[in-house]
Structure 1
Amino acid sequence: MKMNDTIARLLKDLGVAQMFGVIGDVNLFIVDRFMKEGGRYTSATTESAAVLMASGWAQVTGKTGVATVTCGPGLVNALMPIVEAVKGHVPMVIVTGDSLSKFKYHPQSASHREFVLATGAGYEAPRRIEDVPRDLVHAFQRAWAERRPIVFNFPSYDQQWEDIGEYQPPRLHTPERLGTQLDTEALELAVGIIASAKRPIVLAGYGVVTSGQRDAVLQFAKRLDAPVMTTLRTKDLFRGEAGNLGVLGISGREEVTEAVGVSDCVIAFGASLHMFTTANGTLLNKKRLVLVAEDRHDIGRTMAVDAAILGEPGAVAERMLYWLDEAEIPSSQFAFEEVVTQAVAAIAASYDTPLPAPSDAPITIQQALLAIEHAVQEERLLVTDGGRFMRQPWQLMRVQQPRHFIAGNLFGAIGTGIGYAIGAAVAERGLPTLAVVGDGGFMLGGLTEFHTAVREKLDLIVVLCNDGGYGAEYLHFTDHGMDPSLALFDWPEFSEVATTMGGQGLVVRTQADLGAMQQAIRTRTPGKPLLIDLKLDPKTMPRTF
């Protein structure tokens, strides 16, 4: 079987049903054969967006995402989202290949290996064409095991029509992660710290989502009568549970500040405890810290801990619960203290804020996002881009489970939101996808891909927080008493552009427009993406942090 046919057949037999990409000389025949094999392919406008789509799809489904780009500039254009996926521990395989071997100085020739390794991703490159099947399977094995993108780079594309021998079905083993935690000194130390805590908080990180151990961690928290919190990527894991204080960190709610402040112990499961979760460590001052991590590299990577346990979150939670029961340690009752119950009540009440009376007063981002929150069905996906606006949707908009939420700012970049949202929407075509983006990011990476959403007939609602420029840069200028005009732009009318592209467009300027906006959301055509252009004042927009 020829090399390009072999790659496409292997992808199918490895269980790949969806691929994203931009075709070129390297991969066009592979994509064609993949589709003939029954695979679904979503064609992006840019390579960067193709990788973001695969990443968004992977985060929603919990499976390995697949993207394909051409050689040289195609792969280089995809480097930023590869870094983003590395930082997010997203398993992906990106298929590309080398330029023509017969030209020593081919214009698209590039040192793929060096580019890829600089991002932190893995790299697989068969030395011989007969090694292609084995090494492609290895790339998928590595993506699953290492929880990061692996770039599979096959030999020069002029060899893809060569016969590489009889096709052999792939053998890919991805065993279920079964954690068995022994009674170690570390566990004994952790249980002792927990037993002496008066006001413990149980924190669930993204590792709890990927391991599927929500219920075990929640049961542990209930045994302690401890309030529960999550990291940002684990948002709404405990939605509806008593004692749920939401997200810990600078992206969390102000209502929980006092409750977090009086706590004396944090038991963290599968959390990286980076600077945003801990506010550079200040939120954990004068608190004992117990960390449960599956990867030894997560221990001590961002801050010192009082007790660290290597193990799968659910297994460790169950074992700690066993020893607390054996020792007859009483519960803390912290979840029922007034400081916690008042915070939980205040958060719940904030979502019930009524719409302002119709008037010509300009909208605020809070009013608009709450109106959208109540106009879209509860079972939906939420994707946010990076930008000055992003803290508001994190706090004011909810999902039913963390896999339905993607915070597109892992690399601190803007312009990721629409790519992520398309991948998420393709993964869950039966649900609406809310993409909350800024105008700068939309122009940087989203405008061209809006048409991709139109072509794919996605139920996508783009909420454009449009303050007419680059928000962070606007603040830097004004904070120093300088003219911010360099950060402001005269954008086109995005609603008209969306309509021209085949979608739907709507402008929201005043409080009188909010009711009509809700009606437009409820009566939208699901297969026709809707763009809502929120006209916001950069002078009154809240700060990110």
Structure 2
Amino acid sequence: MIGGAAHVFDVLAAAFRQEDVETCFALMGDANMNFATRLGEAGCRMIYVRHEHCAVAAAMAYARKSRRIGVATVTCGPGLTQLTTALPAAVRAQLPLVVFAGEAPLKAGWYNQAIDQAPIVRATGAAYLSLHLPERMPVAVRNAFLQAKRERRPVVLGVPFDLQNLIWEGEVDLPVPSKALLPQMAPIPPNPEDLARAAAMIDGARRIVVMAGMGAVEAGAGRACRALAARCDALLATTLPARGLFHDDPFSIGIAGGFSSDTARACFAEADLVVAVGCSLASHNSDAGKLWPGAQVLQIDVDPVTVSQGRVAANAHLRADARLGVEMLSEVVSERSSDWRSAALAKRIATAPADASVFSGEPGVHDPRDVVAALDAALPLDWEMVNSSGHCSFYFAQMPGRPQERFLTIREFGAIGNGISFAIGVAAARPGDTIVMFDGDGSLLMHVQELETIRRHGLNILIVVLNDGAYGSEIHKLRAEGLDDGGAVFGRTDLAAIARGFGLGGETVTDLGEIPRLVDGFAETGGAAVWDIPISDKVYSPVIRRAHPNIGGLG
């Protein structure tokens, strides 16, 4: 109950708090500052960022890491339009968010920040709800949380700020919160006939890969996938977001997709069946169909698909909860002796480099593969890893010994510039942990202002940057096409000095042998820092090489 001279923004803040909102990422403006202030006073942890995009991007990582609904708030007009990169990324990653956005005042005959916000938001794939009736607003807030949870996408609430500032008439009875209304549904078991068909498909295959996605992670199906693979002499793999789910299994070939290792690609080329457990079967997951050219795909999912992102993605389906479906499948498939799962293959998986390409060395700069190997050897296993996007992300994904619960990647929209925001979101979700964010120089510089956010909020984040002085993907693609790369080259900015200017630690790492000492020092002091590591711009990833086979530069 809320009484007295409460404003509408007081009631809105109370409605959000009733939804167990513990953290909100915000940038204030006229159309949301009263709401944000009251939300903070009500006990919600407010993380005030320097750019609206970063508020929603941080909420994305918070949602993925905490498995809660991410919450952000921005003002109207330009505050809302800044979200048009983050929102489609959240939609494609199926992340539930609720964003409180102001709207221009209804009573104004003209307002310079007025814009029709709903079509902009809906064009991203997110939902937009205009809240123009104060008496209905608490229920609308509750329903937004229900919608975000059920549809697994962002819901943006647009509230005119003149309505927010009205005095609430009378007492307030907040509606029953969403958690009391969410259906309590048990996991879906498979249909017996579907199960028999799936088992026959597995029994008839010779080379099988059991591939797990985020649906398998969320259903706790990791152990069941391991058991199924062992029973039918199959290898294990994951999608990129689920990487690390089988990090300690000797027959896990790692990531399936564009970031697959040389060994994984060779194994997938032999496969005649891929069992996709809780996978969305996106194009990148199969490297646009080139990763397993001779394999059928059996999808196990509560929402199976045939066509995904313009291609036939699955040939057969088992509709079921990921864990239950795999467990019951293991009971009915025939057990077979080890053939593919050999000691020689296990050794190859454990020792072969992800990318065996040979490049000519350059003085004064590092091969990014050597940087990642040095970091992987030195960074504690219980530190949280955050991988950004861009050319560098292939290399940072190659840490096969890292468990899935300690590694976050969100790349569904392919935008760079998100890494620092994702790190902030993970730090908010795991406040007692040390966060390590891996990024490229071009990506970090897009939102380098958030270094101040990290310092102001006392977040424990180490940022490691591969600095090639350019937009890495673009220079390699331009060179492959025989075009001038000048527009993508801007020189190696002194990122360590910039970090120190924001009050953070800053190191330029010229000797990789110093990394263990630096890690020990950061573990002792905590805080936040940027490590600027110069890398060669002549080394390119297999992703680039496959897309541009005419590219030169191999030594």
1:515 aligns with 2:542: no
Instruction: Please give the residue correspondences for 1:133-532 in structure 2 after superposition, counting only pairs within 5 Å.
Output: 133-163=138-168, 165-172=171-178, 173-296=181-304, 298-301=305-308, 302-324=311-333, 329-331=334-336, 333-337=338-342, 340-347=345-352, 362-396=365-399, 398-401=401-404, 403-445=405-447, 447-490=448-491, 492-509=493-510, 513-524=511-522, 526-532=525-531
Contact 1:13 1:169 in 2 (8 A): no
Q: For residue 481 of structure 1, give the secondary structure of its aligned residue in structure 2.
A: coil
Name the amino acid aligned to 2:516: Q
CA distance in 2, matches of 1:415, 1:176: 38
| Runs ≥4 residues deviating over 4 A | none
SS in 2 for 1:238: coil
**Match of 1:537?**
536
Tell me whether 242-251 or 207-216 shows the greater mean CA deviation.
207-216
Are the counterparts in 1 of residues 244 and 400 from structure 2 also a CA contact under 8 Å?
A: no
| Structure 1 residues 134 and 526, CA gap change in structure 2 (3 angstroms) | farther
Contiguous gaps of at least 5 residues in structure 2: 1-5, 357-361, 545-555
Structure 2 matches for 1:64-75, cutoff 5 A?
A: 64-75=69-80
Q: Which residue of 2 aligns with 1:356?
A: none
Letter in 2 for 1:131: R
The whole-number CA distance in structure 2 between the counterparts of 1:455 and 1:28 is 19
Contact 2:31 2:160 in 1 (8 A): no
Aligned equivalents of 1:508, 1:202: Cα separation in 2: 40
Residue deviations 1:174-231 (CA, integer Å, cap 9, x gap) = 3454223243543322111011122211110111122233223333223323211100
Report the Cα offset of residue 13 of structure 1. Answer: 1.6
Quick one: which amino acid aligns to residue 106 of structure 2? S
SS of the residue 2:14 aligns to: helix
Shift of 1:36: 1.5
* CA–CA distance in structure 2, aligned partners of residues 490 and 386 of structure 1: 20
Alpha-carbon contact 1:249-1:278 (below 8 Å) kept: yes
Indicate the SS of the match to 1:233.
Answer: coil
Give the structure 1 partner of residue 3 of structure 2.
Answer: none
CA distance in 1, matches of 2:229, 2:34: 53
1:120 match: secondary structure: coil
Q: Hey, what's the Cα distance between the residues in 2 that align with 1:179 and 1:127?
A: 39
2:21 is matched with which residue?
16
Shift of residue 418 of structure 1?
A: 0.5
**CA distance in 2: counterparts of 1:384 and 1:260, whole angstroms:** 25
- Deviation, 1:519, is 1.1
For the 8 Å contact 1:364–1:541, the answer to whether it is kept is no
Report the identity percentage.
26
Give the equivalent residue in structure 2 for 1:100. 105
Deviations 1:237-267 (A, max 9, x none): 0111231111112201112233222222111
CA distance in 2, matches of 1:507, 1:26: 42
What is the CA distance between 1:313 and its match in structure 2?
Answer: 0.7
Does the residue aligned with 2:318 lie in a helix, a strand or coil?
A: strand
Query: Which structure shows the higher helix fraction?
Result: 1
- Summarize deviations over 1:369-428 as a string: whole Å, max 9, x none: 221222221112221222111100001365322x43222432111111101111111211
How many matched pairs?
Answer: 528
How far 1:489 sits from its partner (Å)?
0.7
Match of residue 42, structure 1, among 42, 47, 71: 47
* Whole-angstrom CA distance in 2 between matches of 1:405 and 1:484: 33
Alpha-carbon displacement from aligned partner over 1:117-154 (angstroms, at most 9, x marks no partner): 10001122234111101110011011111111111222
SS at match of 2:464: strand
Q: Indicate the residue corresponding to 1:31 in structure 2.
A: 36
Q: Which amino acid aligns with 2:432?
A: G
Where 2:172 maps in the other structure, the secondary structure is coil
- Greater displacement, 72-81 / 100-109: 100-109
For the residue of structure 2 that corresponds to 1:521, the secondary structure is: helix
Indicate the residue corresponding to 1:110 in structure 2.
115
Shift in Å at residue 98 of structure 1?
A: 1.4
